[in-house]
């Protein structure tokens, strides 16, 4: 039976932990001579409705490192749900490729793809969540600290798709998650309810605040993201007036633990949600995090397409 990667919520803590170990193994293997071609002869079709740097290059190179092949399908080529029904796209591609990765606007589009595809479908980002990013984030935290359980992760900013998936994976793995952002920009209540159920099982603590200074007290990780996500450009000016108190700057970082790490999924709008001083400073893991997309996605691909 095929397995998709649509949401962190679909995976058990044990499955996520096993995949983190696999990502670490694949990264070490790559650094010491290269990965085994476990996906030789396998192909990944990559559907993009949104532009991308990290998602496209990391998935494409991950497939190449593992001996497979990936190719890009532009919005003009597919016209998902417009030029052709999603159910038809899914069934046609399933006869050509071994897996599908989709980066979409509407979450229901990737769910519909998975429903009709007979090959694994990976969510490369939707308006609701970003599980591939969150898995990378957990991998980066795990690689740095040797654990996620018991760590305090503070997300400062908009309760967006990245925040949802990060909250879910931290709660699943027994870390403590705190969100701080302005009123009216919280995560969906349904996503919070899911996280609370995961936290009840793992012993994680969840906090939802409007004070960024309170949120970063005792933080092991400070995470931020753009104030204006793709598709929200009409709100850009309003958001730039509301979010400045939530900027991750040197003064805010100084209020956390001395060894705190700072993360951002990129692209960063320097001078808005994060300052140059922090992004390029000693606490920053921004670029190791970005590079880890490659290895985290190898683990996802190896599990779904290679049966590891």
Choosing from 49, 65, 133, 297, the catalytic residue is: 133
Choosing from 65, 130, 239, 303, the catalytic residue is: 130
Give the containing element (helix H, strand E) for 103.
strand 99-103
CA 162 – CA 93 distance, rounded (Å) = 28
- Give yes or no: 91 in active site: no
Choosing from 4, 65, 98, 103, the catalytic residue is: 103
Choosing from 109, 293, 295, 303, the catalytic residue is: 293
Residue at token pair 């190896």: 302
- Give yes or no: 133 in active site: yes
- String of b and e for 136-175 (b: at least 16 CB within 10 Å)? bbbbbbbbbbeebbebbbbbbbbbbbbbbbbbbbbbbbbb
- Give yes or no: 130 in active site: yes
Q: Could you count the other beta carbons within 10 Å of the beta carbon of residue 122? A: 25
CA 275 – CA 304 distance, rounded (Å) = 38
- Give yes or no: 293 in active site: yes
Choosing from 49, 137, 239, 265, the catalytic residue is: 265
Q: Which of 3, 10, 5, 6 is CA-nearest to residue 172? A: 10
Choosing from 127, 225, 247, 295, the catalytic residue is: 225
Sort residue 81 into left (φ over 0), alpha (ψ -120 to 50) or beta.
left
> Which residues belong to the active site?
103, 130, 133, 225, 265, 293
């Amino acid at each position: 039976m095929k397995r998709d990667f649509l949401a962190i919520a679909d995976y058990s803590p044990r499955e996520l932990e096993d995949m983190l170990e696999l990502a670490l193994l694949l990264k070490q293997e790559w650094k010491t001579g290269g990965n085994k071609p476990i996906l030789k002869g396998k192909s990944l079709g990559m559907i993009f409705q949104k532009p991308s740097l990290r998602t496209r290059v990391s998935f494409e190179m991950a497939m190449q490192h593992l001996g497979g092949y990936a190719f890009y399908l532009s919005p003009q080529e597919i016209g998902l749900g417009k030029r052709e029904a999603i159910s038809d796209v899914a069934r046609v591609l399933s006869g050509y490729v071994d897996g599908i990765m989709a980066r979409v606007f509407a979450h229901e589009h990737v769910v519909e793809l998975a429903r009709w595809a007979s090959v694994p479908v990976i969510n490369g980002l939707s308006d609701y969540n970003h599980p591939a990013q969150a898995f990378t984030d957990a991998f980066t935290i795990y690689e740095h600290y040797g654990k996620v359980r018991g760590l305090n992760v503070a997300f400062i900013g908009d309760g967006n798709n990245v925040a949802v998936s990060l909250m879910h994976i931290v709660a699943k793995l027994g870390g403590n998650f705190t969100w701080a952002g302005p009123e009216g920009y919280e995560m969906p209540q349904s996503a919070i309810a899911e996280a609370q159920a995961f936290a009840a099982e793992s012993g994680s603590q969840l906090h939802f605040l409007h004070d960024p200074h309170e949120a970063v007290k005792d933080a092991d990780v400070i995470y931020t993201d753009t104030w204006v996500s793709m598709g929200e450009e009409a709100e850009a000016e309003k958001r730039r007036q509301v979010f400045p108190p939530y900027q991750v700057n040197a003064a805010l970082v100084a209020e956390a633990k001395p060894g705190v790490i700072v993360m951002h999924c990129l692209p960063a709008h320097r001078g808005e949600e994060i300052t140059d001083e922090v992004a390029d400073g000693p606490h920053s893991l921004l670029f190791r995090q970005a590079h880890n997309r490659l290895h985290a996605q190898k683990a996802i691909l190896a599990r779904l397409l290679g049966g590891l």
